Amino acid sequence: MPATADRDAPADRPRVNAHIHLPPNFTAFETTRQAVALAAEQGVRVLGASNYYDYAVYADFAAEAGARGVFPLFGLEIISLIDALVAQGVKINDPGNPGKMYVCGKGITRFDPMTDTARQLLQVIRGNDSARMREVTDRLRAVFAGVGLEIGLDAEAIKDRVAARHACPRGRVYLQERHVAQAFQEVFFDMVPEDGRAALLERVYGVPPKARPDDAVAVQNEIRSQLLKAGKPAFVPDTFVDFDHAYRLILALGGIPCYPTLADGATPICGYEEDVERLIADIQARGIPAAEFIPIRNTPGVLTRYVRAMRDAGLFVTAGTEHNTLDLLPIAPTCLDGAPIPEDIQEIFWEGACVIAAHQSLTMRGEPGFVDAEGRPSRVYSSPNERIEAFRKVGEAVIAEYQQGCAARGV
């Protein structure tokens, strides 16, 4: 174990969640204010957002965090495709799609304004995704129309609904499958009385529904599984950028590339992740110096084995909750079924948040961060552990100074 994990946990160590999604991403939160307020109420004093496709909400996030004494971490999430692993049938960190890799960026600072390079790279992703969601919506509308139900939604109408729900500018909205399924479920419920829903859904799906006709979230999930997935009538193949494109965007936005690890969040564990040592070697070969977990998916034993191996190998590690469904879970991460995260693993997650805070603070001031514009270490250290420890110390000081400032303002 690295020396940092052997420390006694400080009694005043803040709780940390390095990965949630803020609206208008699909999320449990109605507003950014609600997300930050809940974090503060639950004692989470370092909170990271990892939104898809648009980062304009981060100005609101920073303001809300400052008003409640919560240190904000800015991040992003991208879906990429590795063609060689598609061909080999290797599942990476998506149990349903070979070759599909989620990648995160941590501590991004160049999102307002963006560089021309970042804007061009992001526009490709936005364009591909928007075109797909328009087609998904059109096909789903046709499926419902085929049983005589004119839902009357297109992608633009769904964007309007999302913008109204979250009281945000329409230009910030980039649709996800969950947005589409939610909109169709809501209109379907408005149009069809509860006692007639099951029969109509059976005609739509071609099989009897399992969701209760009054359970909105379950019906949304069933619309996705029965109509939007591969082989289903409203399925549209994804058009993802390659890993290099995603990696370059993270760096162009000033961030640290980070691999989100599913581990036993999938059964069986995805082939790419099954051998943790091989996983570490591969992501390090790709220039990724960090990993992240959503521990509520993991048993404590598996989480501990993966996190310790990664940290021992010189990766820093973080954790979050995502909150990318309508389930309003606690903000502080836990393991599967609410089991507590082991104390030494929480210490490693705290260290990872400090590294991000240091990188974010330094690069905002124009100083070298944890990685440079090419993804290489921007400062010389004798070992990866020394590098992580140095940034941990800076990050702890940055967070402490921030919290002192908030306290001085009565926050």
Q: How far apart are CA 250 and CA 246, in angstroms?
A: 6
If you write DSSP's letter for every residue of 184-250 in order, what string do you get? HHHHHHHHS-HHHHHHHHHHHHSS---S-TT-HHHHHHHHIIIIISTTSTT-----PEEHHHHHHHH
pLDDT in tens, 147-186: 999 999 999 999 999 999 999 999 999 999 999 999 999 9
Q: How far apart are CA 246 and CA 265, in angstroms?
A: 23
Which class for 117: exposed (0-12), middle (13-18), buried (19 or more C-beta within 10 A)? Answer: middle
Amino acid at residue number 255: G
Instruction: Please state, rounded to an integer, the average pLDDT across all residues of the chain.
Output: 95
Q: What average pLDDT does the segment 56-82 reach? A: 97
Res 10: pLDDT: 53
Res 238: pLDDT: 87
Residue 8: pLDDT over 60: no
Res 7: pLDDT: 44
Q: Which is nearest to 5 in space by CA: 374, 345, 381, 363?
A: 345
Q: How far apart are CA 340 and CA 295, in angstroms?
A: 9
Q: What average pLDDT does the segment 54-76 reach? A: 97
**Domains defined along the chain, listed by start:** 15-111+253-408 (3.20.20.140), 122-228 (no CATH)
Q: What average pLDDT does the segment 114-131 reach? A: 96
Res 126: pLDDT: 96
Residue 308: pLDDT over 80: yes
The whole-angstrom distance between residue 402's C-alpha and the CA centroid of its chain comes to: 25
pLDDT range class, residue 60, cuts 50, 70, 90: very high
In Å, what is the CA distance from 299 to each residue of 286, 295, 304, 341, 368?
Answer: 27, 8, 9, 9, 37
pLDDT in tens, 212-263: 999 999 999 999 999 999 899 999 998 899 999 999 999 999 999 999 999 9
Global pTM?
0.94
